[in-house]
Structure 1
Amino acid sequence: MPYSPIGQSIQVLDTPALLIDLDKMENNIQKMAARCRDSGLHWRPHAKGHKTPAIAHKQLCAGAIGITCAKLGEAEVLADAGISDILVANQVVGREKVARLVNLRRRADVMVAVDDPVHIRAISDAATDVGVNVRVLVEVDVGMKRCGVPPGAPTLALAQEADAAPGVVFAGIMGYEGHAMSLDDAAKEAACKKAVGELSKTRNLIEDAGLCVGIVSAGGTGTLAFTPDFPGITEIQAGGGIFMDTYYRDGLHVRGLEHALSVLTTVISRAAPDRAVADAGRKTTSSHPSLPEVKDRTDVVVTGLAAEHALLSLTNSDIEIGDKIQFISGYSDMTVFLHDQIYGTRDDRVEVVWDILARGKKQ
């Protein structure tokens, strides 16, 4: 029987290793679910950060109505793990991908974002060919200037085209106020109010034209403090906060959630009294847009990452070669996908090991 670390101290793990503090993650899940529930909204958390069906099931058990993902390949992994209600919050383009989409619809109630008639026609042709109906959300540009049609009449026109297309079910609209994430609280609140207001007015316009807008989807962890408070939306997509990281805390000003994700690393060199090196570089943890920080120590600071090495600055430190320390993730979205497994821990002992099954699912 192969060796299992279950029940063992995290100190026995070889490094670098990706860790999740289960108590903290589960608390974060409950807090985010409660934030949506108390605002009268559904929660459809994003899985692009954790890429792990076992974690998605924890979110569903906490009250999520479905799961959001960024890639069709992630949706396929989630469906294979028994998850049905899945939003691909992205445009699915190309004959091969659309064929996968409509065939995925046979085993999951997947829906996708569209922002052009080209998307609708491609899905319609493929869906009618195999005899399925695919739900779509028209993506609205609420200020981020990425994907999405302008609010108002352009969104109505695309909704009407979706509603008329065989094999396509117009399910609603979505928008992402990503341009507001890094603003200070006052400016962020104002930007969220404006973004949700655009979605709300557009929803009213579409419904006045006789179409049902069952879903109005928006929100991220960086705006979770404000977006749910404004009327007009039906669900929130925020998901990354279940891990929390230094970027969410310092760059996006997220409060009230605990740092759950860390990287266990070993000190491999101490060439001088004021510096050391650990075995977790950019191939293990993200340095952009925020460096990781050392957990529970003030005498050791991460000053930079090379490909395989973390550069550490020491102040009156007793750290030695062979010591294991934990890095709080700088940005979880750019850290998890670097690993094959997550070690779920409780009280610094390994409770579960999860394969990151949607890792590498870029298509």
Structure 2
Amino acid sequence: MDALDLDTPALYVDLDVLERNIARMQEQCRTWGVALRPHVKTHKIPDIAQLQLDAGAIGITVAKVGEAEVLPGDDVLVAYPLLKPKLPRLKALAKTRRVKVAVDSVDVARDLEEIDTLVEIDVGVRRCGAQSPEQAVAIAQACSDFQGIFYWPSWLDEAGFRAACGKIDAVLAALSRAGFEAKIVSGGSTPGASKTPLIPQTTEIRPGTYVFYDASSLAAKLCGEADCALRVLTTVVSTAVPGQCVIDAGSKTFSSDQTVGVGTFGHFIGREWTMRKLNEEHGYVEPHPLTPSPFGRGGTNGEYQDGKAPPRVGEKVWVVPSHVCATVNLHDEIWYGRRGRVEGSWKVAARGKVR
């Protein structure tokens, strides 16, 4: 079956691109001298997690216990503050798998008896994490099984990474003076992966988006269009309003997160179009004609920037989503194949596993 024959909207993954992305990140980690512990919240699919493990990943990272309960890997890091009501499920998981948890408070650390813990450090992102070396030491002292530290660099630039390195140095020195050895320094993110050597203390990284990439990755020049393994097939359903067309995919198909630094929703393949607004089932698209239209903004006559004809009802178009992780979580099923053919589909096993 040709992927263009899928009923829309539909998510489709090119296996050749997916496998190349997995292999490339694994090789980069070898070059940087760090282990790879991918964040599986991006895809939430057991088969893809297994591909990452088979390629050399040391384990997986999850955001919530629910993800770990349905995804493979015998070494799991829960990269989220866990409170006491979650502990029975966490301890049940720890009976059959090696489990680590990131913590940033003394109270939570005290509750995690017999669970390996990493103290989270805020390196400038201001989301979670200890704010000072002294606070990090206090949390480590409350841990029964302290293993190291955890940081999230998000979209920090090079200067931010250099500042983060100084903060991590200070924390590690304070921990050493207090008698703690940080065996693990866990960092990473897809936007920050290439800057890993700027924090040489790092022992492992946790990128997630790299398996698929997305329009935000593309806008930030982290990848090229050919590296975007997941695309959404959509159909033009209306051209009635001058200067726009509407596709059959809105905020129930795409994440409502806009492309970082751009402010649009997704990247169109083969069409110089811009999507600036979403309703639940409608995507509002500007087709960008080269010639002005007598009908106001945009237009449906004349030549278009991509050299193609005006959008037509029934036309199918591929879109790379702005935020792939949140987009995947909206879907029960993802189709996959090679060279534009459909070979099968995956159930998104960890969809909605937010507890």
Determine the structure 2 residue equivalent to 1:338. 330
Return the letter of the residue paired with 2:82. V
Return the letter of the residue paired with 1:170. F
In structure 2, do the counterparts of structure 1 residues 85 and 190 end up closer, same or farther at CA, with 3 Å as the change threshold? same
Determine the structure 1 residue equivalent to 2:148. 172
Determine the structure 1 residue equivalent to 2:222. 254
Is this contact kept in 2: 1:36–1:228, CA < 8 A? Answer: no
Structure-2 separation of matches of 1:243 and 1:226: 20
Structure-2 separation of matches of 1:193 and 1:26: 32
Determine the structure 1 residue equivalent to 2:59. 66
Helix, strand or coil at the partner of 1:350: coil
Return the letter of the residue paired with 2:205. I
Return the letter of the residue paired with 2:280. A
Determine the structure 2 residue equivalent to 1:103. 92
Return the letter of the residue paired with 2:246. V
Is this contact kept in 2: 1:200–1:231, CA < 8 A? Answer: no
Structure-2 separation of matches of 1:147 and 1:287: 23
The two structures have a TM-score, normalised by structure 1, of 0.86
Deviation at 1:203, TM superposition (A): 2.2
Structure-1 separation of matches of 2:102 and 2:350: 20
Structure-2 separation of matches of 1:297 and 1:269: 16
Aligned with 2:120 (options 125, 139, 145): 139
Structure-2 separation of matches of 1:142 and 1:312: 38
1:351 aligns with 2:340: no
Deviation at 1:106, TM superposition (A): 0.8
Matched positions, count: 330
Determine the structure 2 residue equivalent to 1:302. 275
Helix, strand or coil at the partner of 1:271: coil
Is this contact kept in 2: 1:280–1:309, CA < 8 A? Answer: yes
After TM superposition, the structure 1 = structure 2 runs for residues 195-214 of structure 1, keeping only pairs within 5 Å, are 195-214=164-183
Deviation at 1:28, TM superposition (A): 1.5
Structure-1 separation of matches of 2:214 and 2:340: 19
Deviation at 1:318, TM superposition (A): 4.4
1:219-253 alpha-carbon deviations (Å, 9 max, x no partner): 11111121234311101111112211111232x44
After TM superposition, the structure 1 = structure 2 runs for residues 1-363 of structure 1, keeping only pairs within 5 Å, are 8-78=1-71, 81=72, 83-95=73-85, 97-124=86-113, 133-162=114-143, 165=144, 169-178=145-154, 181=155, 188-250=157-219, 252-255=220-223, 258-271=227-240, 274-290=243-259, 291-298=265-272, 300-314=273-287, 315=289, 316=303, 317-363=309-355
Determine the structure 1 residue equivalent to 2:294. none
Detail structure 1 runs of 4+ shifted over 4 Å in the superposition: none
Helix, strand or coil at the partner of 2:239: strand
1:297-341 alpha-carbon deviations (Å, 9 max, x no partner): 23x433322210112223342443222211111111221111001
Helix, strand or coil at the partner of 1:281: coil
Q: Which runs of 5+ in 2 are unaligned?
A: 260-264, 290-302, 304-308
Structure-1 separation of matches of 2:23 and 2:127: 31
The two structures have a TM-score, normalised by structure 2, of 0.87
Structure-2 separation of matches of 1:143 and 1:274: 43
Deviation at 1:63, TM superposition (A): 1.5
Deviation at 1:24, TM superposition (A): 1.5
- CA-atom RMSD, angstroms? 1.9
Determine the structure 2 residue equivalent to 1:130. none
Return the letter of the residue paired with 2:107. V
Is this contact kept in 2: 1:151–1:199, CA < 8 A? Answer: no
Is this contact kept in 1: 2:43–2:325, CA < 8 A? Answer: yes
Helix, strand or coil at the partner of 1:216: strand
Is this contact kept in 1: 2:62–2:78, CA < 8 A? Answer: yes
Deviation at 1:74, TM superposition (A): 0.8
Helix, strand or coil at the partner of 1:145: coil
Identify which range, 99-108 or 227-236, moves more after superposition.
227-236
Percent identity over the alignment?
A: 40
Structure-1 separation of matches of 2:28 and 2:17: 16
In structure 2, do the counterparts of structure 1 residues 303 and 91 end up closer, same or farther at CA, with 3 Å as the change threshold? closer
Helix, strand or coil at the partner of 1:222: coil
Structure-2 separation of matches of 1:308 and 1:119: 41
Return the letter of the residue paired with 2:42. G
Helix, strand or coil at the partner of 1:268: strand
Deviation at 1:44, TM superposition (A): 0.8
Helix, strand or coil at the partner of 2:276: strand
